[in-house]
Amino acid sequence: MEELPHRLRPHRKTRHIARNIFRGIFLFFLLMFVLGIGLFAYYAKEAPQVTQSQLQNAGSSTLYTTDGKMLLTLGQEKRNYVRYDEIPQRMKDAVVSIEDKRFYNEPFGIDPVRIVGSIVSNVRGHDISAGGSSITQQLIKLSAFSTSVSDRTLKRKAQEAWIAVHVSREYTKQQILEYYINKVYMNYNIYGIGTAAHYYYGKNLNQLDLSQTALLAGMPNAPTFYNPYITPARAKYRRDLVLQAMLKNKKITQAEYSRAITENIQTGLIYKHNTQSKLRKIDDPYIKEVVDEVREKGFDPYNDNLKITVNINQQAQNELYHLANSGKVPFTNNKMQVAATVVDPNNGHVIAILGGRHLPNVALGLDRAVQTDRSTGSSIKPVWDYAPAIQYKHWPTSKILYDTPYTYAGTNIQLNDWDNQFYGPMTMRYALEQSRNVPAVRTLQDIGINRAAKFAKQVGINVSPSQGLSVAIGANASTLQMAGAYSAFATLGTYHKPEFVSRIQTATGEIHNYDTPGKRVMDESTAYMITDMLKGVITHGSGLKAKDGDLIEAGKTGTVKYSNSELKAHPSYRGTPKDSWFIGYTRSFVMSVWTGYDTLAKGKITGSGQDSAMLLYKAMMDYLMHDKANMDWEKPDSVVTRQFNTGRELFQKGHAPAAPKKKENINRIPQRVIRRYQKNPNMTFDNGNSNRVVIIERRPNNNGQNNNNERQINRNNQNNNSQNENNSDNQQNESNQNQQQNDGG
């Protein structure tokens, strides 16, 4: 009997170990709880104060100009506030059922059940962004915090919960629900479910049927994703979830549910809207790009309460819109379209854009300056051909190129030029000034398409090398991209990505600056030599009509022909351009202009419309430069000037070329040929492969030199000159119609 205690010792030891384990677990969870409380208190201490004004007003962002002036508040002009007693009970039931069914029973504004479920979901998925927010917390998020995924941190969740406790003490459930229903974003720059009812259905809230009520109640979760216009299947799915939640919560009967769920999701939707009020047409394309850029940076401009500094120059934006829509710059007809981008090359700021002419009365509509990629024609040559040749192969401007018969490798397709002639050897300068196509293609072939693609990518032009050598004379790009690319020439080699936004301040005071020092993408010598040659395009080359008196500027034309298949469908378009470009620059500004039609059925470019791109550039640059110093580019020490028998030429130091021995070896287009086309204002064409990029180039008209008076005189006489020029061109175009067909054929 005395050995019994000895035999019981192992059991005592086991109980002792188990007790220690449970004690350890208890202490661990107690420690975690204490640490959690401490961390919560630490985060809560830094929580921002939320006022009634913040809760009641929309969560939209305010745009400011770089000088601190308020431009507008997104969505502010489209909000019809509805009071709690004006909100139908069915809408209240729908919102609460789908968003927070325990809303009325949450004494502290938080839902512990949902929070626990969210924690479990987050632990399993390793994602702290999974939802667990009550309506009160969602209201706080819309009022004081960013809604971006990157901002959904434990700190923000803790602060939301802490503020929710205070808000629940200070405001009734009715007030909180009213604020929430009026605050949510509902697409198309509109806020609040009451406002959305008018936009989507043209009704007040109390006029909506059950299906429409459920759709609007469910949209705030992801308004773009559940857009009934664009994604009706997704919208139906969300509406059905709301109806199921209402049925489960006994807010509707089975009969009501059955009727509503069978209703077509697009029943009653309005498809024509007049959404343009305070958000002026003139700024709409710019604001659209601001919204897109802010989203690209990870913020929601409609819900994050941001202060956004934009780079717009409002006076320049007004002038650009006015020039395109007032008749000061001639266009063929009202259907002819235009896009333009003006950039400050020294910092990349987009100061003005033109999304089109006669813009429709809708907010955030089509912006042709950014959204439309059209073939650039010959305006791509400095970027794809000649700048890489100087950068990588150190070609001088006197480099001899050959304008001789050329057939694309592996085909029987011959590349021709505007006059169907070949002029043999000529300098790179002359080939660029006169926009000869064969020398450009030979240049790209020499430097290698992969190296050229790498160079172009550095200045924002992304074109696949797989497109072949035809990109030497045309590639698809927007006016924004082309303005950015040419800005690297204007700064003598530094590229700034074009930006609409320079600064964002969040609701919590965090500041994000987006101005950058730029990136050197080419040697100063390369940019200077390209600029020197492009000056000649304006003074005596294909861009003569863009010349603005004594202004020191450089630029390049680009025009594109219709393909054979397009001409087969529209025979009357033969002899007219499909697209016409001009990109020009000074040391202060770069401007890129495209003109043409959205579709073939809209019409063809004729008469003075053939010069619209150059004339718009000229008028706008004259306005921009009126208070700027007219400064030339300073020649880098790495560039050497020398007189050859071809004239003044440039080369990079250390890469001196051999001078041509005989002047007659260097050919130029015969003056009699040039004079022939100077007398005829119509277009002449490259008859190259219609399945490739095919270029049209307008010949310079020396008579235009009479207009190169002082720029101040040009400004004073702008209206008269434009009208006279328009009438003269129309008359001359009519008298030379037959000649145009012969020359173009």
User: How many percent of the chain have pLDDT more than 70?
Assistant: 78
Q: Are 164 and 133 in contact (CB under 8 A)?
A: no
Supply the pLDDT for residue 703: 40
Residue 691 confidence (pLDDT) above 50: no
272 pLDDT tier (thresholds 50, 70, 90):
confident
CATH 1.10.3810.10: which residues of the chain?
Answer: 52-58+76-261
Supply the pLDDT for residue 147: 61
Per-residue pLDDT, averaged over 574-598, amounts to 94
702 pLDDT tier (thresholds 50, 70, 90):
very low
Supply the pLDDT for residue 668: 66
Q: Which of 297-306, 308-317, 463-472, 700-709 has the highest mean pLDDT?
A: 308-317
Lowest mean pLDDT among 278-292, 396-410, 430-444, 707-721: 707-721
In this predicted model, which residue has the larger pLDDT, 52 or 699?
Answer: 52
279 pLDDT tier (thresholds 50, 70, 90):
very low
Helix segments in 394-496, DSSP class H:
428-433, 437-447, 449-458, 479-490
Residue 665 confidence (pLDDT) above 70: no
Helix segments in 309-367, DSSP class H:
314-325
Supply the pLDDT for residue 352: 97
Superfamily of domain 324-744: DD-peptidase/beta-lactamase superfamily (3.40.710.10)
409 pLDDT tier (thresholds 50, 70, 90):
confident
Partnered with residue 642 across adjacent β-strands are: 649
Residue 692 confidence (pLDDT) above 70: no
Of residues 278, 430, 418, 295, the one with CA closest to residue 361: 278
Residue 343 confidence (pLDDT) above 60: yes
Supply the pLDDT for residue 686: 34
Q: Are 346 and 543 in contact (CB under 8 A)?
A: no
Catalytic site positions: 99, 378
Phi/psi at 407 (5° precision): -120, 130
Cα separation, 298 vs 608, whole angstroms? 45
Per-residue pLDDT, averaged over 558-581, amounts to 89
In this predicted model, which residue has the larger pLDDT, 147 or 174?
Answer: 174
Q: Return the CATH number of 52-58+76-261, one of 3.40.640.10, 3.40.50.880, 1.10.3810.10, 3.90.230.10.
A: 1.10.3810.10
Supply the pLDDT for residue 100: 92
Spatial neighbors of 195 by CB under 8 A, at least 6 apart, are: 78, 79, 80, 186
Spatial neighbors of 739 by CB under 8 A, at least 6 apart, are: 680, 682
Per-residue pLDDT, averaged over 49-60, amounts to 80
In this predicted model, which residue has the larger pLDDT, 364 or 410?
Answer: 410
pLDDT in tens, 181-210: 999 999 887 889 999 999 999 999 999 999
Burial 607-632 (b: 16+ CB within 10 A, else e): bbbbbbbbbbbbbbbbbbbeeeeeee
Residue 11 confidence (pLDDT) above 80: no
Supply the pLDDT for residue 276: 52
Lowest mean pLDDT among 148-152, 397-401, 448-452: 148-152
Residue 217 confidence (pLDDT) above 90: yes
In this predicted model, which residue has the larger pLDDT, 49 or 102?
Answer: 102
Cα separations in angstroms, 602 against 195, 340, 478, 570, 595: 36, 20, 20, 11, 13
Pairing of strands 511-513, 577-585: unpaired
Distance of CA 332 to the CA centre of its chain: 27
Average pLDDT along the chain: 82
146 pLDDT tier (thresholds 50, 70, 90):
low
716 pLDDT tier (thresholds 50, 70, 90):
very low
- What are the structure tokens assigned to 706, written together? 């009479």
pLDDT in tens, 367-393: 788 877 888 999 999 999 999 999 999
Cα separations in angstroms, 188 against 55, 180, 191, 227: 21, 18, 9, 10
637 pLDDT tier (thresholds 50, 70, 90):
very high
In this predicted model, which residue has the larger pLDDT, 280 or 289?
Answer: 289
Per-residue pLDDT, averaged over 543-550, amounts to 93
Supply the pLDDT for residue 645: 80
Supply the pLDDT for residue 148: 58
Supply the pLDDT for residue 21: 79
pLDDT in tens, 468-484: 999 999 999 999 999 99
Cα separation, 336 vs 339, whole angstroms? 11
Per-residue pLDDT, averaged over 172-181, amounts to 95
Q: Are 270 and 199 in contact (CB under 8 A)?
A: yes
**What pTM, to 2 d.p., does this model score?**
0.74
Please give the span between the terminal C-alpha atoms of the chain, in angstroms, as a whole number: 125
Residue 405 confidence (pLDDT) above 90: yes
pLDDT in tens, 474-516: 999 999 999 999 999 999 999 999 999 999 998 878 899 999 8
Lowest mean pLDDT among 140-144, 617-621, 741-745: 741-745
Cα separation, 540 vs 554, whole angstroms? 11
CATH 3.40.710.10: which residues of the chain?
Answer: 324-744
Q: Which of 11-25, 80-94, 661-675 has the highest mean pLDDT?
A: 80-94
Q: Are 682 and 736 in contact (CB under 8 A)?
A: yes
Supply the pLDDT for residue 417: 80
604 pLDDT tier (thresholds 50, 70, 90):
confident
Of residues 53, 50, 83, 56, the one with CA closest to residue 164: 50
Phi/psi at 655 (5° precision): -135, 50
User: How many percent of the chain have pLDDT more than 90?
Assistant: 53
Lowest mean pLDDT among 113-127, 178-192, 198-212, 304-318: 113-127
Supply the pLDDT for residue 336: 92
